[in-house]
Amino acid sequence: MVELKTNQSIDAMYEAGQVVGQALTAVRKAADVGVSLLELDEVAREVLRDAGATSPFLGYRPSFAPVPFPAVICASVNDAIVHGIPTGYRLRDGDLVSIDCGAELGGWAGDSAISFTVGRARPADVRLIETAERALAAGIEAAVVGNRIGDIAHAIGSVCRAAGYGVPDGFGGHGIGRKMHEDPSVPNEGRPGRGMPLRHGLVLAIEPMLIAGGQDGYHAAPDGWTLCTNDGSRAAHAEHTVAITETGPRILTAR
């Protein structure tokens, strides 16, 4: 069931979204060569604690997962696309890192993700990350009253494919509100003019995921959570929680 949020609820979701933005900003600042993924997770935990927020990631266990998720961030490095479990792995010069984070505050959820490089960036990685951000921006631009879900999907997919990147099949964005994952699903590729109409009060987590090698294939790592590219190429992930309003899209997780 799709729940349309009131203006007051959207304002409350903005507060949750700001906590997510603060956590991602803090993690990005702390990320450096030699820093472990577990240390980055602790940085995000501290931001959530200070804000009086909780994590919708911690303990989350969908049907495919062998164990509940043990952290408050997903930390996906290099060929990991999404859902990476933070470990003791210490970042190395040139690593491409994608961090996904959520927060629950006052009964409402926010969800956002960023990708960045550590140390000396490869030009190919910079282009990949910039394209992920452009795809996200295109999806947000299409998130207007009168459009449909397919218009968002088409906008995202067009940017990704034009740049020669792969798009993991079956993964994309989602509705968000009282829970982190709500209806509807938001594919990262699709036909314009199709799908559910976009109405004032619909709140979506829009999140393009790109595979540098141009193929769409992926597989689950032995931990059962992390999704990795089949061809070993690098991946990037960008995400914002966005409210569709009569005056245009409102980014609730703006940093």
Residues present in the chain in total: 255
Ligand-binding annotation for 141, yes or no, is: no
Compute the CA torsion angle 22, 24, 223, 39 (nearest 10 deg).
-80
Q: Are 116 and 163 in contact (CB under 8 A)?
A: no
Ligand-binding annotation for 100, yes or no, is: yes
Ligand-binding annotation for 174, yes or no, is: yes
Ligand-binding annotation for 11, yes or no, is: no
Ligand-binding annotation for 83, yes or no, is: yes
At 34, list the tokens. Answer: 């030699």
Q: Measured between alpha carbons, how far is 238 from 124 in angstroms, rounded to an integer? A: 17
Ligand-binding annotation for 154, yes or no, is: no
244, β-bridge pairs: 249
Ligand-binding annotation for 239, yes or no, is: yes
Q: Measured between alpha carbons, how far is 113 from 132 in angstroms, rounded to an integer? A: 11
Q: For tokens 């938001």, what's the residue?
A: 186
Q: Which residues are annotated as a binding site for a divalent metal cation?
A: 100, 111, 174, 207, 239
Q: Which residues are annotated as a binding site?
A: 83, 100, 111, 174, 181, 207, 239
Q: Which residues are annotated as a binding site for substrate?
A: 83, 181
